[in-house]
């Protein structure tokens, strides 16, 4: 029972994240401003580190961090497939 509730909660978070990112992508296309997709702004890091999402260097680092996270999860999934 607890496992099903936990899985439902994770699915809720995943669904909410997908909707949130869809809105951000729509806003980026509508406004023509890539700032909406800056990872530091998405996770709210600006609340702790003001102006971290400002500037073109921040956008490049943000893209690099997102790619790094995707590659990390991809490698973890490959490792699980190899070990099974």
**Residues 6 or more apart from 49 whose CB is under 8 A from it?**
40
What is the pLDDT, as a whole number, of residue 78?
86
- pLDDT for residue 76 is more than 70: yes
Average pLDDT estimate for 52-64: 90
Average pLDDT estimate for 52-62: 89
- pLDDT for residue 81 is more than 80: no
Which structural domain, as residue segments, surrounds residue 41?
2-83
Total domains present in the chain:
1
Query: 33-37, 41-45, 57-61, 78-82: lowest mean pLDDT where?
Result: 78-82
Q: Is 83 helix (H, G, I), strand (E, B) or coil?
A: helix
């Amino acid at each position: 029972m607890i496992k099903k509730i936990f899985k439902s909660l994770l699915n809720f978070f995943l669904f909410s994240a997908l909707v949130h990112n869809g809105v951000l992508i729509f806003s980026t296309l509508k406004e023509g401003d890539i700032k909406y997709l800056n990872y530091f702004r998405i996770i709210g890091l600006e609340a702790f580190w003001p102006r971290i999402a400002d500037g073109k260097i921040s956008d490049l680092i943000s893209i690099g961090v997102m790619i790094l996270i995707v590659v990390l999860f991809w490698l973890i999934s490959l490792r699980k497939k190899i070990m099974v």
